[in-house]
Amino acid sequence: MSDMSYVRSEMLPERAPPASSVGVVGWMRQNLFSGIVNSILTIVSLILIYMVLAAILPWVFSPTWNGTSQNDCREIVGNGHHAACWGVINDRWQQLLFGFYPNGSEGGADQRWRPIVAFALLFVAVTPVLFNMISRRMNWVLLLAVLGLTGLYLGGAVGMIVGLVLLGAAGFVGFKALSTDKEARAAEIEAGAKRLPNPLIFSAIYPFIAPWLLWGGTIWLPIAAALGFVIGYFAFVFASRALGSLIGIIVAVVAAIIWWMVLTSVFANAVDSILPIGLEAVESRKFGGFMLSITIGVVAIACSLPIGIVLALGRQSDLMIVKALCVGFIEFIRGVPLITLLFVASTLLNIFMPPGTNFDIILRVLIMVTLFASAYMAEVIRGGLAALPRGQYEAADALGLDYWKAQRLIIMPQALKISIPGIVSTFIGVFKDTTLVSIIGLLDPLGLSNAIRADQAWNGLVWELYGFIALLFFVFCFSMSRYSMYLERRLHTGHR
């Protein structure tokens, strides 16, 4: 029987694929030379890449980092060679980053640590909102570390001690956070271990810290401004208990506005005269460079978020007049270019205000850019609201929640979560658009590059400055857009 079988009784071993379809060769055959058209495209692309790199690279790699002027650079690279003069960046990069923020050259202390700390704290403040894979304790580690490093930098006996203590605390919490994993921590909390406070507390007080760090002045002013919210809250609690929630809201808003308009500066001055604590005040006109761009971008986005929410709700509401007002505002702002709004800031805003008011140009630009951003923000949030299934609204109604409770507890948390990628995109757009302020004469990086070019030593240098500015913008915007894409992917997987 066995001699009759001519059919193979066992499988042949798999043979290795031919050399031309695996490894580098196989990959190239598949992706670069899979046909005549593809081969031509590949060769054309390679030639193109070679030409661009051959033109740019020798220019970029020039040993002129220490050149002190354009002529100096020319001597370094030798006559006839066309090469970059990086000395201008070496000489002016601090100005391109900080503008004319006090650096100690005109007497007084170097204040540039303040924008750096404000920026680092901004990162700490947004992490609990934007990166939910960072644990609560790591967030506190970040905060303590930033504050500790600031203390060490400021030096002095007090600064040293406070800095070391804070860094030690950061190290301790960080070590504990790294040594216990998620499940163990959950068990600890279950057993009654104390949790650290929610880091969102810091996110909430950051809006008062940042302006104080940037503009300086007495610390009592931001504290007084924050007190306005406390006063509004208590007014709401008492008034709504006596008169109902709608009246309560009105009373709270009126009380807070009266506090801010009339009493804040009085209170701040009074306390400051008793207990003067503060930083050296820095005028807005000294702001410049990327610090100005980031300040305008962050302030505009932060302030436009609540306005945008209100506008989006107004646009979605059944109240005809409210809806008409919101649609009119949004469409008007979106219909005109930002530059016309900046013209309003530079020439008209003072005319619209009561006679005698005169606030500085950066504040006016901030107001107009905020209005601009809030119209776009409203559309982003409206998209988030529209993406929520109707069942969510109906379920909130079925639970008997009133309009504001439904928005606060059910609708907004979900709608805002869906909108985060859109909000980040809006932020990228606004951040890029801050370059427009150079047209009305503010010293953002582009405006500064014109000023630097007017200098005798760097007369007429274009590529180096534009290249540096473009690179910094690219790094910022590209990383944010990657983040937003990552977020979009993450939001897609979850069920909404």
Determine if 226 is a binding residue for another protein (CB under 8 A). no
Q: Does 229 bind another protein (CB under 8 A)?
A: no
348 lines the binding site for another protein (CB under 8 A) = yes
**Based on CB atoms, which residue is closest to another protein, 108 or 244?**
244
> How many other C-beta atoms are found inside a 10 Å radius of the C-beta of residue 171?
14
Task: Annotate each residue in 400-429 with x if it binds another protein (CB under 8 A) or - if it does not, as one string.
Answer: ----------------------------x-
Among 195, 347, 387, 486, binds another protein (CB under 8 A): 347
Q: Which residues in the 477-496 window bind another protein by CB under 8 A?
A: 477-478, 481
- State in angstroms the smallest separation of the CB of 331 from another protein: 8
Residues that contact another protein, how many (by CB under 8 A)? 56
Instruction: Return the number of the residue (30 or 132) whose C-beta is nearest another protein.
Output: 30
Question: Interface residues for another protein in 352-371 (CB under 8 A)?
Answer: 352-355
Report the residue number, 365 or 428, with the smaller CB distance to another protein. 428
Task: List the beta bridge partners of residue 270.
Answer: none
Please classify residue 195 by burial: count the beta carbons closer than 10 Å to its beta carbon, then call 0-12 exposed, 13-18 middle and 19+ buried. Answer: exposed
Which of these segments, 191-199, 257-265, 337-345, 365-373, binds another protein (CB under 8 A)?
A: 337-345
Binding of another protein by 257 (CB under 8 A): no
Based on the shown chain and the rule CB under 8 A, indicate whether residue 50 belongs to the binding site for another protein.
no
Tokens read off for 256: 């807070």
Q: Which residue from 157, 320, 441, 492 is in contact with another protein, where contact means CB under 8 A? A: 320
Pick 322 or 487: Cβ nearer another protein: 322
Q: Which CB, 193 or 339, lies closer to another protein? A: 339
Q: What is the rounded CA–CA span in Å between residue 460 and residue 453?
A: 5
Report in angstroms how near the CB of residue 18 gets to another protein at its nearest: 21
245 binds another protein (CB under 8 A): no
Q: Does 451 bind another protein (CB under 8 A)?
A: no
Q: By CB under 8 A, name the one of 337, 363, 408, 490 that touches another protein.
A: 337
Q: Which residues pair with 218 in a beta bridge?
A: 278
Q: Contacting another protein (CB under 8 A), which of 446, 448, 452, 464?
A: 446
Q: What residues contact residue 251 under an 8 Å CB cut-off, 6+ apart?
A: 235, 236, 239, 243
Indicate which single residue of 22, 48, 51, 201 sits in contact with another protein (rule: CB under 8 A): 48
Q: How many CA atoms lie within 13 A of 319 on its CB side?
A: 9
- Write the CA distances from 457 to 68, 69, 88, 289, 467, integer angstroms: 8, 5, 9, 20, 19
Task: Tell me if 190 contacts another protein by CB under 8 A.
Answer: no
CB closer to another protein out of 271 and 477 = 477
Asked whether position 187 contacts another protein by CB under 8 A, the answer is no
Q: Does 246 participate in binding another protein (rule CB under 8 A)? A: yes
Q: Between 227 and 436, whose beta carbon lies closer to another protein?
A: 436
- The interface with another protein within residues 20-39 (CB under 8 A) comprises 31-32, 34, 38
Contact residues for another protein, defined by CB under 8 A: 31-32, 34, 38, 41-42, 45-46, 48-49, 244, 246-247, 318-322, 325, 331-332, 334-340, 343-344, 347-348, 350-355, 428, 432-433, 435-436, 438-439, 446, 462-463, 466, 469-470, 473-474, 477-478, 481
